[in-house]
Chains A and B, each alone.
Chain A
């Protein structure tokens, strides 16, 4: 996805090496994808689902952001 769009950055994070990030993003299972710190995608989902869900962050930006404790 990153290679297909100049606006997309993809970071593979090794969760056990960076427990601070795993905590911040509430990672309880892998794989877990967090998009722009807003949209969360659990598990390995098919591309037809994954890409629209990931990019939904762009339309979701206008909506009420999810509350974070």
Chain B
């Protein structure tokens, strides 16, 4: 049974229709010792049916260490938001360049985190403008060293 109501699905479908770039959600999982991985997969699976610009790629943390390291992920469940270059050939998905948005979700993206995930997909997919002010944009443009933000939340 879908987790989203028909009206929520319609609303999301309309938002996702504005996307100009294809987004790939890399879902990092492991078979053993990850109680919330199946739930996360279930939530993510709600999205691709709503837009042909959203795809899920499952990455096994244990079996595909290289991929996990590439995205700096060492725990599951985790989701990395990536996007594909628009110039690619539609039939050659594997050769299209995958860009890392450097937006991550560790843990089940339920509740408000689901909304954050949707917002991230829309931003990265080019369906909505950044909410950053000119001042923030300017400050960020001047950043020349790695900055990592861990934002702790709870699912309410």
Contact = CB atoms under 8 A, between A and B. Distances in A.
B132 A4 contact: yes
B154 A8 contact: no
19 contacts: A1-B132, A2-B149, A4-B136, A5-B147, A8-B149, A9-B72, A9-B148, A10-B148, A12-B113, A12-B153, A13-B106, A13-B150, A15-B152, A31-B152, A33-B149, A33-B151, A34-B150, A36-B146, A57-B147
Interface of A: 1-18, 21-22, 25, 27, 30-36, 47-48, 51-52, 54-55, 57-58, 61
A14 B155 contact: yes
Interface of B: 36, 72, 75, 77, 101-109, 113, 116, 123-124, 130-133, 135-137, 139-141, 143-155
The interface residues of chain A, by DSSP majority, are classed as mixed
Contacts of A52: 139
A54 B147 contact: yes
Contacts of A22: 152
Given A8-B147, A30-B154, A33-B152, A17 B141 contact: no
A11 B106 contact: yes
A48 B151 contact: no
A3 B23 CA distance: 13
Given A14-B113, A14-B154, A47-B131, A7 B149 contact: no
B154 A7 contact: no
Contact of A36 (B147, B153, B155): B147
Nearest to A15: B152
Given A18-B106, A58-B145, A11 B150 contact: yes
